Structure 1
């Protein structure tokens, strides 16, 4: 028996800039909420027993429809926050193309933005994932609502990839990780998007 982790990227969020230097934490757009509302049906085949989320609003709000449908509480895991956690601005990748072109080009090249300490970020995320695994029992299935960068560094670690941002992880996509009793972890699928394919920008 294995522990199955469903790493789910948040739905589409708003852009945000504080203008005062204070951290921003944007909510989902109306379209993002519609994407999140599809998750209960999309995840119906899975016997989900645990829910976890990044502390950021866009991840927590994506978890809400599943939490309501399953009548499960969501455990916040701060270590699973995105690399932009605590910044005074947030741009979707579409907006970053013009508003933060240097960061956009690095992301497109598979690299983290220059302001990110890649090793610290990777260490934090993997620690957060270890916490999730340690909190589960075999054969639990846990839905873990996180971010594209978080999912990518997990995949970088498990697949021994040369770059931290290899995959274009889509909104509300599902990436499955299996954890054996011995602790060995393997990737079962990456970026499943059939439930929201019609909502994604090509």
Structure 2
């Protein structure tokens, strides 16, 4: 079985993990991804229940027209006390925590929130459900923290090192795992966003320039 872990399209707010719809750019990202996935043989599209993931998955499925499944446990890592805050406020209030986290010595939970291990514990049963479904190729629209945590888990990495897995995954990028019959996972591609190449306004680098 192949599972494509897809980060949702760009949301319409820069605040930390707020439950909001896609921006205009996010909708364009999702539409381009949907066209690309027409050739991937997708059997079903799963997503988290957060607005940005649901909208991304629904727009993708306008091109695919396959079964849709929503699971709340595919939601983003909980940033706890950081949620709803802007980056400068987070840097000011939680500078000490961020400095400790950058050392990657421990799998630290966000203040009042989750660690990577918490995400794996929450998401793994959903992944096991997908693996037991009998489908051959599944698209899972989820979130950056989930993709990094699950990638580290399947690759046998220390969960404290998830920041090494591209701290800024591209919106609507594809991370693909192939699962053998014995359940072991092979990483086929990570953060593949070739469908967005040449469109600077749809890349994180272009968004950063605007901000």
* Same fold? TM cut 0.5: yes
What's the offset of the Cα at 1:147? 0.3
Deviations 1:97-147 (A, max 9, x none): x1312379469836653333323222002222112212233xx11010000
Give the paired residue count: 189
Question: Are the equivalent residues in 2 in contact too, given 1:39–1:65 (CA < 8 A)?
Answer: no
What's the offset of the Cα at 1:178? 0.5
Counterpart of 1:25 in structure 2 is: 19
Counterpart of 1:180 in structure 2 is: 180
Distance 2:139 2:109 in 1: 25
Please say which of residues 187-196 and 122-131 is displaced more in the overlay.
Answer: 122-131
Q: SS in structure 1 opposite 2:162?
A: coil
Counterpart of 1:189 in structure 2 is: 189
What's the offset of the Cα at 1:188? 0.9
Any unmatched runs of 5+ in structure 1?
18-22
Larger RCO: Structure 1 or Structure 2 (Cα < 8 Å, ≥ 6 residues apart)? 1
Question: Are the equivalent residues in 2 in contact too, given 1:80–1:129 (CA < 8 A)?
Answer: no
Counterpart of 1:149 in structure 2 is: 145
Distance 1:34 1:176 in 2: 22
Structure (1/2) with the larger helix percentage = 2
Counterpart of 1:20 in structure 2 is: none
C-alpha change, 1:35 and 1:179, in structure 2 (3 Å) is: same
Question: Are the equivalent residues in 2 in contact too, given 1:79–1:124 (CA < 8 A)?
Answer: yes
What's the offset of the Cα at 1:65? 2.0
TM-score (norm 2): 0.78
2:112 counterpart of 1:115: yes
128, 131, 140: which one pairs with 1:130? 128
Counterpart of 1:14 in structure 2 is: 12
Question: Are the equivalent residues in 1 in contact too, given 2:79–2:114 (CA < 8 A)?
Answer: no
Question: Are the equivalent residues in 2 in contact too, given 1:16–1:90 (CA < 8 A)?
Answer: no
Q: SS in structure 1 opposite 2:187?
A: strand
Counterpart of 2:209 in structure 1 is: none
How big is the alpha-carbon RMSD for the aligned residues of Structure 1 and Structure 2? 2.7
Counterpart of 1:82 in structure 2 is: 76
TM-score (norm 1): 0.81
Distance 1:165 1:54 in 2: 22
2:2 counterpart of 1:4: yes
